[in-house]
Amino acid sequence: MVFEKKGNALIGREKNETLCIEPWGKDSLRVRSTVLPEFSGLDRALTEDIDKGSADIKLAEKEGGLWSGSITNGRIRAEVNPSGIVAFFKDDERVLYEYNRNYGVPLTKETRCLKAEAREFTGSASGSFKLTARFERNEGERIYGCGQYQHPYLNLKGCSLELAQKNSQVSIPFALSSLGYGFLWNNPATGRVTFGKNLTEWAADESNELDYWITVADKPAEILEKYTAAVGRAPVLGPEYLGFWQCKLRYRTPEEVLSVARRYNEMGIQLDVIVIDFFHWPYQGSWRFDEKYWPEDKVKAMCDELHSMGIKVMVSIWPSVDKRSENYEEMLMKGYFVRNERGGIETYDYQGECATIDVFNPGAREYLWSKCRENYKRLGIDLFWFDNAEPDSIIYHYDNMRYYTGRASMVANEYPKYYLRTVSEGFMGDGDGMRPSLIRSAWAGSQKYGAVLWSGDVPSTFEAFRDQISAGLNAGLAGIPWWNSDIGGFMTDDVNDPEFQELLLRWFGFGVFCPIMRLHGDRGPYDIPPLDTRDFGAGYLHTGQPNEIWSYGEENEAIMKKFVELRLSMRDYIAGLMKEAHENGSPVIRTMFYEFPEDEACWECEDQYMFGPDYLVAPVYTCGARERELYLPAGKWENIFTKEVTEGGKRVCVSAPLDQIPAFKRL
């Protein structure tokens, strides 16, 4: 490889590959490679205007030719050998290596004959490339972040993760290493990352450019601070959103909504947000209320009364557009739909034949916001819930869907971020400032647009509940501080099942110590008659059983009310956490090692966490359990329910009746 210094970048060339390494923020480097004549110029997730640093570039000569190079930015150094292999160092320590792509190196004893390129571009019929980047193993390394996956593993070492957005699966390709570096795969293509024992491998299904970003620091908090400085941070979420949100599938009329709000008001419980779920519309893609059940005058009156109680109103919108919608033909003519590569535009078939709005198209985003402004905001609706934000699809053949900016296999993972921009930029453009939006998917940097990520339509089981602990913590380490789950899980067969009711209480306690506390679910059995016999509109689709805190008997109501009151008492503390998230990117719910990186035992804790710097929380996720073992780091800890003080630095067994979640305050 031949090297040169070009401005602030180290450039290497060999055959038809160009390698570019340049400083990109404090102690950080960006690495790009292409086999095309030029780089794309796209920054993808690296959107923020930051001080990129000043590079110290050195070139080595041998027999009159430049044969290796290095680039240093603060505490990080990259060295490139004559074969083009990049090695990274933090100060004088190795961080990670790319594999030797010319000669191959022994990976493990089982694969010592394998030859594998460090940066592999494999041509395809599309004219783009399947792209793979391989890195050496690091013994004892732990990997965290990467978004949200439905498994119990906090440490992702040994995991293989699909890089694709699906219901309950959120791909945010930022990995935080226990060795003191953070790594962003700056590519929105679908693909896979494998954190194997023998190697780490990132793969894009279709791409023209390798692009990744790496930073180094001593503590996880410092890594997150540098990462979010590069991709963006959440705005400050005000205290008016930090109490209790009420939701169910689904409220069918303004009267149903008001009856719920009035009862909470009578009980002395302040609701912050009440949510109107899907199929309040005549057809998908109408983006308006069905006048038969939601007439404008009643919607306005509903919003006025809710606002008088201090409650904000949120409605669900979907990206799917039914062929029967009044907007379908206009959007079709203007080219506002995702299209199939092999004919047709139908991409979704739940309750109708639907196309999907192409939010990569600026015109489509403007069109959607015009409908939201006219049909919702004008009536008093405050907030939006972006459901199906992946977007959901009949079948996930990414190479058979094309967006405004390219095939889905090349750009799809960024869809939820562009979808969220629709309303974020709409509110900002109207002078309303930033408002939070509930959304079912995200990508790197979504937090800057006010993403309240929730974990999707997860089952109402203790197993799924356990998975949410890891999901929320890893989402936070991927840069999303505003995370939540459907309290009780989404899919419930029988609300009268004692095991479900126990699960609901355990999940409710967990919800107290999440960034957003929101009760939601589709509660069976489905024996409530529909309002209408038509096969469309707001009246025909089923509604689940009542899902308010009084819906499960007096004993359960008393426990949930106690938890809500606890949450409301912490509003000022949580507001401080939201300010911190805005200032330095810190998650609201944090892994134990985030707060105690020097404590080796905290790196082993996968089922407990810190709620900000002061509260340690250990959810009970086993049916029938009435006690829970947990680890207390060194120091004094006060049980928030019993007020008992315990000296830390050890594991303890804590009593956990149904009206308590094991939680300790650091003294």
Average pLDDT over residues 318-343: 96
Assess whether pLDDT exceeds 90 at residue 235. yes
Q: Phi/psi zone of residue 305: left (φ > 0), alpha (ψ -120 to 50 degrees), beta?
A: alpha
Token digits of residue 542: 């089923």
Pairing of the two strands 589-590 and 609-611: antiparallel
Average pLDDT over residues 330-334: 98
Assess whether pLDDT exceeds 90 at residue 83. no
CA 105 to chain centre: 36
Look at the alpha carbons of 439, 338, 418, 190 in this order and tell me if their dihedral is positive or negative: positive
**The pLDDT of residue 76:** 94
Concerning whether 390 is annotated as a catalytic residue, the answer is yes
**The pLDDT of residue 657:** 98
Assess whether pLDDT exceeds 70 at residue 64. no
Percentage of the chain lying above the pLDDT 70 cut: 97
Show the CA angle centred on residue 204, arms to residues 199 and 210, nearest 5°.
85
Our separate counts of H helices and E strands in the chain read 13, 41
663 strand-pairing partners: 617
Q: Per residue in 288-313, is it b (16+ CB within 10 Å) or e — as a string?
A: bbbeebbeeebbeebbebbeeeebbb
**The pLDDT of residue 84:** 85
Which of the 8 DSSP states describes residue 535? S
Per this entry, what is the length of the chain?
Answer: 667
Q: Give the separation between CA 667 and CA 664, rounded to whole angstroms.
A: 9
Assess whether pLDDT exceeds 80 at residue 242. yes
Assess whether pLDDT exceeds 60 at residue 110. no
CA 597 to chain centre: 24
Please identify which of the residues 209, 322, 390, 595 carries the catalytic annotation: 390
Mean pLDDT of the chain: 94
Max Cα-Cα span within the chain: 86
Phi then psi dihedrals of residue 483, to 5 deg: -125, 150
Q: For residue range 19-52, what is the model confidence (pLDDT) as tens digits?
A: 999 999 999 999 999 999 999 999 999 999 999 9
Place of tokens 């739909």: 337
Phi then psi dihedrals of residue 14, to 5 deg: -155, 130
Assess whether pLDDT exceeds 50 at residue 452. yes
Please identify which of the residues 209, 387, 392, 414 carries the catalytic annotation: 387
Q: Give the separation between CA 347 and CA 249, rounded to whole angstroms.
A: 24
Assess whether pLDDT exceeds 90 at residue 229. yes
Give the list of residues 6+ apart from residue 370 with CB closer than 8 angstroms, or none: none
Concerning whether 425 is annotated as a catalytic residue, the answer is no
Grouping H, G, I as helix, E, B as strand and the rest as coil, residue 654 is: strand
CB count in 10 Å sphere of residue 431: 6
> Which has the closest alpha carbon to 269: 519, 19, 592?
519
Q: Are 156 and 192 in contact (CB under 8 A)?
A: no
**The pLDDT of residue 94:** 79
Token digits of residue 272: 């912050």
Q: Are 436 and 241 in contact (CB under 8 A)?
A: yes
Q: Are 79 and 67 in contact (CB under 8 A)?
A: no
**The pLDDT of residue 174:** 98
> Which has the closest alpha carbon to 393: 537, 190, 131, 535?
190
Average pLDDT over residues 392-405: 95
Assess whether pLDDT exceeds 50 at residue 101. no
| Full 3-state SS string of 379-433 | HCCCEEEECCCCCCCCCCCHHHEEECCEEHHHHHHHHHHHHHHHHHHHHHHCCCC
Phi then psi dihedrals of residue 310, to 5 deg: 80, 25
CB count in 10 Å sphere of residue 164: 20
Assess whether pLDDT exceeds 60 at residue 580. yes
> Which has the closest alpha carbon to 362: 397, 319, 320, 404?
404
CA 530 to chain centre: 35
pLDDT band per the 50, 70, 90 thresholds, residue 284: very high
Percentage of the chain lying above the pLDDT 90 cut: 89
Q: For residue range 613-642, what is the model confidence (pLDDT) as tens digits?
A: 999 999 999 999 999 999 999 999 999 999
**The pLDDT of residue 62:** 63
Please identify which of the residues 98, 205, 382, 457 carries the catalytic annotation: 457
| Residue type, position 603, single letter | W
Concerning whether 457 is annotated as a catalytic residue, the answer is yes
E-strand stretches of 178-229:
181-185, 191-195, 199-207, 210-216
Q: Give the separation between CA 518 and CA 510, rounded to whole angstroms.
A: 11
Q: Give the separation between CA 576 and CA 586, rounded to whole angstroms.
A: 11
Q: Give the separation between CA 488 and CA 502, rounded to whole angstroms.
A: 9
Could you give the count of Cα atoms lying within 13 Å of 298 in the half-sphere of its Cβ?
14
Q: Give the separation between CA 218 and CA 643, rounded to whole angstroms.
A: 35
Assess whether pLDDT exceeds 80 at residue 116. no
Q: Where are the alpha helices (DSSP H) in 190-253?
A: 220-231
Q: Are 529 and 542 in contact (CB under 8 A)?
A: no
pLDDT band per the 50, 70, 90 thresholds, residue 224: very high
CB count in 10 Å sphere of residue 218: 13
Q: Which domains does the chain have, with CATH numbers?
A: 2-231 (2.60.40.1760), 239-318+361-392+414-584 (3.20.20.80), 591-666 (2.60.40.1180)
**The pLDDT of residue 326:** 98
Q: For residue range 495-521, what is the model confidence (pLDDT) as tens digits?
A: 999 999 999 999 999 999 999 999 999
Q: Give the separation between CA 420 and CA 539, rounded to whole angstroms.
A: 28
**The pLDDT of residue 124:** 85
**The pLDDT of residue 65:** 57
